[in-house]
Amino acid sequence: MKGPDLQSHYNEDIVTALQWMWGDGYLAPGGPEEVAELLHGISVVGGHVLDVGCGLGVIDVMLVDTYGAQSVVGIDVEPHLIEHARQRTADAGLNERVLFQLVEPGPLPFDENTFDMVFSKDAIVHIHDKSKFYTEVLRVLKPLGAFVASDWLCGEEETYTAQVEEYLELINLSYHMQSLEQTRQTIVEVGFERVVLKDRNEWYREEVKKELATLSGDSFMRLVGRVGQEHADYRLQVSSIKQQVIEQGFLRPAHMIGYKPSCLPG
């Protein structure tokens, strides 16, 4: 089975199926526990945050409601995701502190030195030119501001197996992956300091088992009722082969943190 032709990476059936696997509001694994792990030891209180790839807006609401951010701007390239996010924020009564903006791929549409934190969860993988993106993140951060993100990274060349090739063809998305070391080097080269990357492959080896459990038995049949047999079968096929490429070491979810210097050279 080949994946759908995704002019939109996240149509409504995909949004429904991903939340089925990962929880209300989440288009990537881990839920609020993974957000807490990503933000462990990092204060957001009183800060102005940019969320790149905001999706359904659940994390943006959480950044204000749970973590104490003063304001959050969430950006995404998918109009219907922005609509979902705005509705979620309205339901939470946070319209004055959480805003969403539809953007085009390319430079970030904000002035330099605007945000205390740039946050992103599992969206950078869709960006082809990582160096330009990280440079833009550095530009819009205030001095000493934090870049906090998770992303789908990859293993070294020896982890690229036949199953990996099958997986990448199946998901039919414009994934542009770097290894952990390539990512670290790129972030440092554009000017970030105190860069830390944390490999989450071992964590996801266990997490994908939970994902597969939602795609079995009665739970799977209920998903069929929501999105149809073909799409439900596709989700099961993707998660099954994803488990293989996780265990083979190719797919390596990772956390990344870096800080803008107090002043930039020149």
What pLDDT sits at residue 10? 78
Q: What is the pTM of this model?
A: 0.93
Closest CA to 178 of 210, 213, 154: 154
The domain segmentation of the chain, as residue ranges, is 12-154+174-201+251-259
CATH superfamily of the 12-154+174-201+251-259 domain = Vaccinia Virus protein VP39 (3.40.50.150)
- Say what the pLDDT of residue 5 is: 34
pLDDT tens digits for range 3-20 = 333 335 678 999 999 999
**The pLDDT value given to residue 9:** 65
Q: What's the pLDDT at 174?
A: 56
Q: What is the per-residue DSSP string for 103-148?
A: --SSS-SS-TT-EEEEEEES-GGG-S-HHHHHHHHHHHEEEEEEEE
Helices (H) and strands (E) in the chain, counts: 10, 7
Three-state DSSP at 150 gives strand
What's residue 172's pLDDT?
72
* The pLDDT of residue 197: 97
pLDDT in tens, the chain (266 residues): 333 333 356 789 999 999 999 999 999 999 999 999 999 999 999 999 999 999 999 999 999 999 999 999 999 999 999 999 999 999 999 999 999 999 999 999 999 999 999 999 999 998 999 999 999 999 999 999 999 999 999 998 899 999 999 998 898 765 678 999 999 999 999 999 999 999 999 999 999 999 999 999 999 999 999 999 999 999 999 999 999 999 999 999 999 999 999 976 65
